[in-house]
């Protein structure tokens, strides 16, 4: 599947936050770094009025979404046992939000090689453009995360970063929300030790 790189439009974009739950905290390398990046991206989405859907995998055992993240504006916070976020409940809410489906999905969370990867593949099968936010994803092993990003890029996803997504949604300094966004991005994103991926391309690049 060929990569399609286009500008993100807040009115045609959906944020999917996948399973960033309390029980994963001690198991994931760089978890606290990831949370800081996720917090910035999620807050920016709220400011820009991008709809958000959150899932929690088997929360009875794995806990709720971490308290540092404000997801009070989410259209849905849904528990699941399916690894993919594309559950019947999520699909119904997406259909209601967009009267069909979004043009683009910005996807981030845990674990990169399981729930994030399976969600991305399900979305690609629906001909939805998928942007994987690499500095907002993690796995228990960094190699699993990095290889998942490789596979997802090859499958047709755009591998990007939180600040790239934010600025692409804003597009213009004259955007009415720019001053608020500027405060969010004034502090540099936290490093997630991402290696260079696929065919010598850095994260965020795509063959056109």
Catalytic residue among 18, 46, 104, 115: 115
Q: Which residue has the higher pLDDT, 198 or 7?
A: 7
Residue 62 lies in a domain: yes
Q: What is the pLDDT of residues 60-115, one digit of tens each?
A: 999 999 999 999 999 999 999 999 999 999 999 999 999 999 999 999 999 999 99
Structural domain including 160 reads 13-185
Residue 48 lies in a domain: yes
Catalytic residue at 18?
Answer: no
Return the half-sphere exposure (C-beta side, CA atoms, 13 A cut-off) of residue 130.
Answer: 27
Please report the pLDDT score of residue 208 as a whole number.
31
Q: What does the alpha-carbon distance between residue 34 and residue 39 come to, in Å, rounded to a whole number?
A: 8
The whole-chain average pLDDT of the chain stands at: 92
Quickly state the pLDDT bin for 6 (edges 50, 70, 90). confident
Residue 6 lies in a domain: no
Please report the pLDDT score of residue 190 as a whole number.
96
Residue 84 lies in a domain: yes
Q: Is the pLDDT of residue 33 over 80?
A: yes
Catalytic residue among 18, 19, 104, 157: 19
Catalytic residue among 80, 135, 157, 168: 80
Which of 37-46, 79-88, 178-187, 193-202 has the lowest average pLDDT? Answer: 193-202
User: For the chain, what is the domain count?
Assistant: 1
- Of 66, 31, 41, 36, whose CA–CA distance to 145 is shortest? 31
Domain with residue 52: its CATH number is 3.40.50.850
Please report the pLDDT score of residue 198 as a whole number.
52
Return the half-sphere exposure (C-beta side, CA atoms, 13 A cut-off) of residue 83.
Answer: 12
Average pLDDT over residues 6-33: 95
Catalytic residue at 6?
Answer: no
Residue 190 lies in a domain: no
Q: What is the pLDDT of residues 20-31, one digit of tens each?
A: 999 999 999 899
Please report the pLDDT score of residue 200 as a whole number.
41
Whole-structure pTM value: 0.92
Residue 26 lies in a domain: yes
Residue 207 lies in a domain: no
Q: CB within 8 A of 66, min separation 6: which ones?
A: 20, 21, 22, 25, 35
Q: What does the alpha-carbon distance between residue 133 and residue 106 come to, in Å, rounded to a whole number?
A: 7
Average pLDDT over residues 160-184: 97
Tokens, residue 82: 């399916």
Please report the pLDDT score of residue 4 as a whole number.
60
Average pLDDT over residues 169-175: 97
How large is the angle between the packed helices 178-185 and 162-170, nearest 10 degrees? 170
Catalytic residue at 115?
Answer: yes
Average pLDDT over residues 1-22: 87
Residue 194 lies in a domain: no
Q: ∠ CA(55), CA(182), CA(13), 5° rounding? A: 40
Q: ∠ CA(65), CA(34), CA(85), 5° rounding? A: 50
């Amino acid at each position: 599947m060929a990569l399609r790189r286009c500008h993100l439009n807040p009115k045609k974009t959906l944020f999917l936050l996948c399973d960033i739950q309390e029980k994963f905290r001690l198991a994931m390398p760089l978890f606290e770094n990831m949370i800081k990046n996720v917090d910035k991206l999620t807050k920016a989405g709220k400011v820009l009025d991008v709809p958000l859907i959150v899932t929690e995998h088997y929360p009875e055992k794995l806990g709720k979404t971490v308290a540092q993240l404000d997801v009070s504006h989410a259209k849905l916070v849904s528990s699941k046992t399916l690894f993919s976020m594309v559950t019947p409940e999520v699909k119904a809410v997406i259909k209601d939000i967009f009267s069909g489906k979004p043009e683009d999905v910005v996807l981030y969370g845990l674990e990169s090689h399981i729930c994030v990867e399976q969600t991305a593949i399900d979305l690609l099968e629906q001909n939805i453009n998928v942007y994987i936010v690499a500095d907002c994803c993690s796995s228990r092993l960094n190699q699993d995360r990095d290889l998942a990003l490789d596979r997802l890029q090859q499958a047709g996803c755009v591998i990007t970063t939180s600040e790239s997504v934010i600025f692409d949604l804003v597009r213009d300094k004259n955007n009415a929300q720019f001053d608020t966004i500027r405060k969010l991005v004034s502090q540099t994103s936290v490093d997630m030790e991402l290696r260079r991926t696929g065919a010598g391309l850095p994260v965020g690049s795509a063959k056109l």
